[in-house]
Amino acid sequence: DSGVTQTPKHLITATGQRVTLRCSPRSGDLSVYWYQQSLDQGLQFLIQYYNGEERAKGNILERFSAQQFPDLHSELNLSSLELGDSALYFCASSAAPQYEQYFGPGTRLTVT
Amino acid sequence: AQKVTQAQTEISVVEKEDVTLDCVYETRDTTYYLFWYKQPPSGELVFLIRRNSFDEQNEISGRYSWNFQKSTSSFNFTITASQVVDSAVYFCALIPNSGGYQKVTFGTGTKLQVIP
């Protein structure tokens, strides 16, 4: 158990809908990262937050947004969902940006 | 720009064989951090090792060892006497230490299958 929690574990929704994925980092970790993993794209870095502030952006679509709240939990919002958004979404946390990341179990999103 | 290349997409070995997973990186930063992660069939990614660019000492942890060579921009991972439980996808990753910009880059992963 990494100490990082993600909810929900599974999510099935229709195209055009909007969903919110939630992540709670390990106790004491200030950095939160979001990743998308699909079969043909590998592990894609989406966005990173450190103590509530956005630190780095990867290949995150404009339809996607995220934030980190004062209690350090983070949410990833995915809107206008398309079939291609079906993937496993991981959250990870670390003590600071250059430190090792601890990954949550992931949220499997299926868009039908 | 930075890049991490794991040229080996899939490797199959017979149990007890040694296997080396290659990782080659590119970065313009003089200070950076390298990582290896393991993703077993259960799906959750597990941290294995972190190495900073100033520390070129090789590291051994049980059956795992890592060879960091700055001259060839490589950070290779060797599993000695492989076991079925080593079957997983292994990812190499790089984080630069350039001011406030610290975007992480993962390689595409190497899928290791250990055959009993």
Minimal C-alpha gap between A43 and chain B (Å): 7
- What is the predicted pLDDT for the residue at B38? 97
Q: Which residues pair with B13 in a beta bridge?
A: B114
Distance CA A48, CA B7 (A): 27
Three-state secondary structure string covering chain B: CCEEECCCCEEEEECCCCEEECCEEECCCCCEEEEEEEECCCCCCEEEEEEECCCCCCEEECCEEEEEEHHHCEEEEEECCCCHHHCEEEEEEEEECECCECCCEECCCEEEEEEC
Angle among Cα A20, A23, A24 to the nearest 5 degrees reads: 145
Q: Do the Cβ atoms of B102 and A98 come within 8 Å?
A: yes
Minimal C-alpha gap between A100 and chain B (Å): 6
Q: Is B103 touching A (CB cutoff 8 A)?
A: yes
Contact A56, B101 (CB under 8 A): yes
Pick the residue of A2, A26, A35, A43 with the most B CBs within 10 A to test the interface with B by mutation.
A43
**Tens digits of residue pLDDT in B61-110:** 899 999 999 999 999 999 999 999 999 999 999 998 866 567 889 999 99
Q: Do the Cβ atoms of B97 and A98 come within 8 Å?
A: yes
Chain A CB contacts of B106 under 8 Å are 42-43, 45
Per-residue confidence at B17, pLDDT binned at 50, 70, 90?
A: very high
Q: What are phi and psi of A85, to 5 degrees?
A: -85, -10
Q: Is B47 touching A (CB cutoff 8 A)?
A: yes
Distance CA B33, CA B29 (A): 10
Per-residue confidence at A40, pLDDT binned at 50, 70, 90?
A: low
